[in-house]
Amino acid sequence: MKRTISTILIIAIAVSLAISYTSCTQSTGDYDALSDRLGELEKRVEHLEQGLDERGTGKSQAGKSQAAVTELHKIQTATLAAMADTNVARIASPGTFDDSNDITVSGTTSVGDFIVGYGAGGNGAVHGTYTIASDGRVTQTAYP
């Protein structure tokens, strides 16, 4: 996830620099301004990689909130994929799903089978706790 954010930010920096470069003349003052802007953008990327807000003064809650939403979407998608793969409309054993508790959808097929890197037993592929209903609806009950 960090690598994806860093890649996006580096692309944004490159685009910003290209736009700045095309609008600048070749004078020394413009070069210094462009260099300063690059330094500011690099500092922002560093702060984001460390989980800090843009000024570097405190932890960013926006990143945590987005991560929680993204993971909920991942669990919901995995649940529906497992249901579609087994051709069932209801989950046989609904309940709590987290990094150490998988939910069997039907037979030997479980929600965790559709999450890359998941292995019930606490390997870090899932950070939150979810309730999965028999109809496949997923509710996030906790996120660190």
pTM of the predicted model as reported, rounded to 2 decimal places: 0.58
Rounded to 5 degrees, what angle do the CA atoms 60, 66, 40 make?
A: 45
Q: Is the pLDDT of residue 26 over 50?
A: no
pLDDT (tens digit, 9 = 90+) per residue, 69-118?
889 999 999 999 999 999 999 998 899 999 989 999 999 999 999 998 88
What pLDDT, on the 0 to 100 scale, is given for residue 50? 61
Nearest to 111 by CA among 72, 143, 144, 142: 72
Where do the domains of the chain lie? 2-59, 62-142
pLDDT tier for residue 121 given thresholds of 50, 70 and 90: low
What pLDDT, on the 0 to 100 scale, is given for residue 118? 84
SS3 131: strand
